[in-house]
Structure 1
């Protein structure tokens, strides 16, 4: 599966420019493709996933990927951007303080719901640069979101 996703990305089968009315749909599709790519990328690195797109019951927030990296439970926020020549913004810079708080709150609810409070945890950010005609560039920032602050 990873090879198919990687091949599609290299062949430019990502997205085309959408009319202004389709911007949200296009952003959602980019996010879904990025999360799928991230899932397979991290599986190749040895992550074992137990949840994707986790949303607590009756709560606000979502965590893209939750899985074990060795004995550590990693909560992974995936950020994907299609970067054109005139753009230089990195996707990982789009993780705001509000998003950090939401991820931490959602992770606490996940740990309580699954009775994993004694597990070693970490918060990672995986950034994907989609550049038309090129393979995606991936950066994994382990322990990127601090529970303190």
Structure 2
């Protein structure tokens, strides 16, 4: 029964947003962070070993923020940021260490953020600085 409901919800979402939710959310987050004065230095950064990926890497003042973007069409199943669990945070930290090592940045300048995007008629964007 629950599977049927999920499939129906997926069909409705695809009709409303035929494109990729994640890509739309990342584009909105990118523009939002730039409008807030951040300098975006990387999008979809992947480690050489392929063990991790970071949606956005931005400078916010003197802090290098590794940003995970989570996009949902509604909050029916909880807020988007709730999808960033301990395992995901560990993978982000691993990818961030790789980036910091390659870019020669001081780890003390690093911060982990989440940008939560809810796709509505007027998308709702929330930036959680220092989320973990």
TM range (shorter): 0.7 to 0.9
CA RMSD, 1 decimal: 2.1
8 A contact 1:73–1:119 mirrored in 2: no
Aligned pair partner of 2:50 in 46, 53, 59: 59
Residue-pair matches, total: 120
Displacement, 1:116? 1.2
Structure with the higher fraction of residues in helix conformation:
2
Give the TM-score normalised by structure 1. 0.74
**Equivalent-residue separation in structure 2 for 1:117 and 1:83 (angstroms):** 38
Give the match's secondary structure for 2:24. Answer: helix
Residues 73-108 of structure 1: per-residue CA shift (max 9 Å, x gap): 111000000117xx2521011111100000001000
**Equivalent-residue separation in structure 2 for 1:54 and 1:83 (angstroms):** 27
Structure 1 gap ranges (5+): 1-14, 20-25
**Equivalent-residue separation in structure 2 for 1:29 and 1:61 (angstroms):** 20
1:76 aligns with 2:95: no
**Equivalent-residue separation in structure 1 for 2:56 and 2:108 (angstroms):** 16
After TM superposition, the runs of 4+ consecutive aligned structure 1 residues lying more than 3 A away are 15-19
1:109 aligns with 2:98: yes
Specify the alignment match of 2:27 in structure 1: 36
Specify the alignment match of 1:22 in structure 2: none
Give the TM-score normalised by structure 2. 0.83
8 A contact 1:127–1:138 mirrored in 2: yes
